[in-house]
Structures are given as C-alpha cells and as structure tokens.
Amino acid sequence: MGDTSAAFLSEQEVLIRDSARKVAAEVVAPTAAERDRTCAWPRGELKAVAELGFLGMLIPEEYGGSGSSSSFVDYCLAIEEFAAADAGFATLIHVHNTMAGMLAKVGSEEQKRRYLPALASGEKIGATLFTEPHAGSDTAAFRTTARREESHYVVNGSKQFISNGSEAGVAFVLAVTDKTAGRNGMSLLLAEPSEPGYIVARIEHKLGQRSAHVAQIQLENCRVPIENLVGDEGGGYKLVMSLLSEGRVAIGAVAVGTARAALEAAVRYAREREAYGAPIIKLQGVAFDLADMATQVEVARQFMIHAARLCEAGIPCAKEASMAKLFASEMAEKVCSDALQIHGGYGYVNDFPVERYYRDVRVTKIYEGTSHIQKLIISRGLV
C-alpha cells in the first residue's frame, strides 16, 4: 500500500518513523508471538531500542536523551511503528517515556540529573502509580496517603493496573498529603521500587498485550525522601492532569499502529487466499470491507498527527486529544475485528497474527481514560 502521508511529514519525521519501523520489524516483531504466549518481559528488545534513543525521546540531550532533536510528533510516529509490531511493547515504552517526559518537564534539576540519564539508557524503567483499585478514573477518591515524617514521606496505599510497575527502577506516585484539601491535597513523589515497602502484590493475567506487565502495587510504610517531592506539596493533581493530553494522543498512535498491522495482514491474506477460482480480494464484499478499513485507519492517523502537532505547539487541546484517542481506539477495535473476519476460521487461531491484534487492541478503549471519559471531556469542550 502506498504511503502518501509521508508527503505531509518533515524530513526528520520521516527519518524517525523509518528508523522506528526498521528496528520494530527486525527486533520487536520476530519475538512478539512468543512473548505473547509466555508473557515474557522484552529485556533484549528494550536494550536494542534504547541504543537507538527510543527510550529517551522525551528527555533533553543534556540528560542523555534524544528529546532536543525529536518532537512529540516524532514520538507518536515511533509509537505507531512499535505498535504495528507489538502493541504491548509500544505500551510499555510509552509508559516509560511518559514518566521520563513528565520528570523532564516538572522535576527539579537535581531530580533530573539523578534519574533521567538512567531512564534514557534503559538502565531504569519508568512507571506511574496513579490508578487505585476502588477509584479507577475517579481521582478524587484516591486513598493512598503520604505522611511527612522528618526527612521522609511515609507512603501507604494500593495502586492497581500499573504498567511497568513490576519492572520499574523509578516511579511517580500520586498520594494524598492533606486529606482536608481534596484534589489540592495530592502530591507527586518519586519512589524507588528497590526500597522496602514497595511490594509487587501481583502481576495481572490479561486478555492481550501480555508482554506489557501490569501489576498491583502495595505501598506499606514506603519511605520517600523529602527531596523526591516533585513540584509543590499539594500540586500533584494539577501536574498529572496537565500532561494527560499527550498521553491520550500517544494511545491513539498505539491504536492506529495495531489497526494498520491488522489491515496489512488482511490485505496479504485476501491476495493469497483463493475461493471460487480467484483471490478473495476480488470478491466485492471483501474488497469493500478492506476499503472501509483502510479509510478508517488513514483518517485516525491524520487526526492523531494533528492532535500531536497541537500538543507540540503548546496549544490547549484536551478536546482534540480525547477525540484522537476515542476515534482511533474505537476504529482499531472494529478494524481488527474485520481483519479477523476476513481470515475466516484461520483468524480465530494463533497461527495468524490477527488473533493477537484483536486481543491487544481492546485495551486502548480503556487505559488513559475509557471511551466514556473521552466523551465526557469532548462534551465539556463543546460547552
């Protein structure tokens, strides 16, 4: 299939995209099915992409990253390419980069110099401990507390569905430091999982994206040094909310990449599979389904890039970011389902990758805010 979208990308954007496409095809894709089967953490694959700078795309060069020479659009294009090879791999490097990018934006100089080089090199993997078991998207209901005690905060609580939580070397923790202040009583802390009190209670068994480990984390008298407070005490909620748009656009990129892979697999199969004396792509019903799928993927990609450019320019775009995630994730589930259908019975077995794409893409409608949450944000933007 032709790539007309490259005409609207800069030379650098094409270069970054093609570099990500190459390493994804050569390093990530060949092991994706086996990692899905065994739920294996991709250590070797992470090392390979770290060497090319993809774990430090949102980190400035002065701290060991490649962020000074790459943009947020570059980043989303790379995420799309990794998702086309393995959506779980794309998710885990997105979570890592999100954590690192947040630290680069809001951390103190000392915090950045202490943690960012190790995050850029992949020596440490980043995680964000925000979601709680009983709260979900209702951040006002968070119960994890951080009590100041001399030179430390003592953190207690449970965090749920934490991507990279079991493998992290450094993590953001959102905790309540003032129970009387509501959302203005939440603070953002940098915790080191190697310290006592950070307990991986369980690693979840998931429908898809199985190599992207998701954990329940118990914080039991976990001590975090005072100097690991990020920003002002009580300012954690605002810091986290201010960075959500970028995360939602990137999940749109994960959805687009997975859907594109499913579309490409369906086209290949339809060209090769014969029925009634000809390849099934000659059948109007199949051809029209593929035409619809290709249209949806391209529309989602173009709006994802548009939203990424708004983020990059610093233009407030909560509505557009939610639109990008909502449309891309809903589209991707349908495209992956249609790709499976075109494969017929073979699509339902794991000899063909569309079965994995179908499972992997479902969560894009859930994480970084469910589809209903995105609709709520969009509707508020209209008002």
CA dihedral 202, 206, 209, 211 (to 10 degrees): 40
Residue 215 DSSP SS3: strand
8 Å CB contact between 126 and 95: yes
Rounded to whole angstroms, the Cα distance separating 349 from 124 reads 36
Q: Cα(331)–Cα(338) distance, rounded to whole angstroms?
A: 11
DSSP state of 144: -
| CB distance 154 to 223 below 8 Å | yes
Residue 182 dihedral angles phi and psi, to the nearest 5°: 60, -135
Does the annotation count 368 as an active-site position? yes
Pick the catalytic residue: 45, 246, 320, 368?
368
Write out the two tokens for 338: 């249609």
Spatial distance between the Cα atoms of 374 and 108, rounded to a whole number of angstroms: 31
In single-letter form, the type of residue at position 36 comes to D
Distance (Å, rounded) from C-alpha 305 to C-alpha 15? 16
Active site (catalytic) residues: 368
